[in-house]
Amino acid sequence: LVRGVILATSFGYFIFSRIVLTDMLFTTLLAVTCWGVLRGLLDPAPRRGPMLGAYAAMALAILTKGLIGLAFPVLTIGAFLLIIRDSRLLRRLELLRGSAVFLAVAAPWHILVGLKNPDFFWFYFVNEHVLRFVAKRHLLDYAPMPLYAYLIMVVVWTFPWSAFLPVALRRYWPRSKPTSREDRGFLFILLWAASVVGFFALTPSRLEYYSMPAFPALALCVGRLWGAEMAPRSGRALASGLSYSCFGLLTVAVGLLPASWLFPRLENVSLYNMFTAMDAYSRDIQYGILSNAEVYTVPSYEELVPLLQWATLILLVGVASATLAWLRRRPGVTVACLAATMLPTLTFVQTGIVMFEPHRSIVRLADVIVREFRPGDEIIIEGPYENFASANFYTGQRARVLHGLFGDLEFGSRYPEETWSSGRATPRRKGRSWRRWSSRRSGGGRGGSISSATLRAASPSCRPLAWNPWSSGGAGRTGCLPTGGVPEERRTRGRRAGYGIGNAECPRVHFAFRIPNSTLPAQL
């Protein structure tokens, strides 16, 4: 129970559970794999069911996220067997039956897709695994993190329980070959976490959420520490390491409170520009406004700052209460205080996510498109399809892709089928290549404005839904200003460097609308 509470109230585990990523499913499948292997190897009586279930979960992990679903268990089990050096454990691995289960689940999809798509094996095994690992992937469409930032984020994502991880490692790190079932299980869990964190530490192609599969293992490590402290004992003395961790956590909470009140005063300094550095959309949309402006697709200070201040205040009170409970030799109350503190803190995080929705979701724009849509019309998504893939869902219509031949969908665009991907986007039509439009675009990099020549290339009767008067190219470009009916909060603020908050606004719309028998507006 304690271990589950620790995992559920970890900052990063909560955050990533609110994002549509396959990594959360992969994390669950890897945890099931490790659980099955642990039961199969360490239970007093050999148990075939959990071990075979582990092979099935490992195969599903591969189908979810690729070959790391095989790499992490192999690294963990291999290192464990090398340290333990117990030949009897090899027989418990059920290699023959397990391999049959693994191949029965994982192989069919790979074989069928490979037979249907001749270049799949190069794309999947070489480009998406080998070349991605060494940061030589074709069309590198993400910015890898440096090693120090990646390791710092591991601490941040497991906050506040990461404060106690050094104590758990110092107390339970095996100084000799473990012999008890509990110590062997803890060693396996340590190797599980180390295989994930260490694997991505070795590759330059790492992102902030790549450590997610290690979260359950780290929670189990800290959970063993607190489980031992909560066990009934007489004459218990305070563990100095845990005392230092509590006071360190209290110091962080004390520092966060004034920082949250100082944050509104940072609006005119370069620190606030981190929003555009982190947000790909903010970087792209700048092509549609004044070149010396900054656009932030975030809520206003008036909305965000109170949430931040309340969250840090509650965190300070909760951590102080937990520290006081620890000093009074109440470890169970300490854990309860920290968990109870994270509940309202994470609730404020959830509220912030809801506040971002009008700035990030296209549902209101889709309402405008549905209202204006007529039979025979087409929706054109300019730029990366994955940034606006929900347009298909909310409008119920097929969307065609313009300037979208890069990133994850680039490989599939080479095939002649008229439709591809779950959203049925078509960057290429039979007898007419949409790829050639890329050379005719104006506005520079990805996410730039669509030129009138490009629109006419798509269709002589194509017109934009609206045009953007703030386009840096003047009247020669279309922009993406929504028509009436899109709420004011759909717009994002512009900010001139050195002049504080500006009045320029640039709405977030990347859609062009094609209406038969219409002409392009004069502004184009």
Which one of 85-94, 171-180, 310-319 scores highest in mean pLDDT?
A: 310-319
Tens of pLDDT along 223-236?
998 988 887 764 45
**pLDDT at site 300:** 58
**pLDDT at site 56:** 96
Is the pLDDT confidence value at 63 over 50?
A: yes
Tens of pLDDT along 182-223?
889 999 999 999 999 999 999 888 888 899 999 999 999 999
| CA dist list (Å): 105 to 37, 56, 57, 353, 481 | 18, 7, 9, 37, 49
| Banded pLDDT at 132 (limits 50, 70, 90) | confident
Token reading at 310: 């309340």
Tens of pLDDT along 333-373?
999 999 999 999 899 888 888 877 776 677 777 787 788 77
**pLDDT at site 104:** 96
**pLDDT at site 470:** 32
* Rounded CA separation 16/472 (Å): 37
Mean pLDDT of the chain: 72
Is the pLDDT confidence value at 298 over 50?
A: yes
Strands 378-382 and 511-514: antiparallel
**pLDDT at site 124:** 87
The model's pTM: 0.75
Task: Sort residue 450 into left (φ over 0), alpha (ψ -120 to 50) or beta.
Answer: beta
Greater confidence (364 vs 81) lies with: 81
* Rounded CA separation 186/171 (Å): 11
- Residue 456 backbone dihedrals phi, psi, to 5 degrees: -70, -30
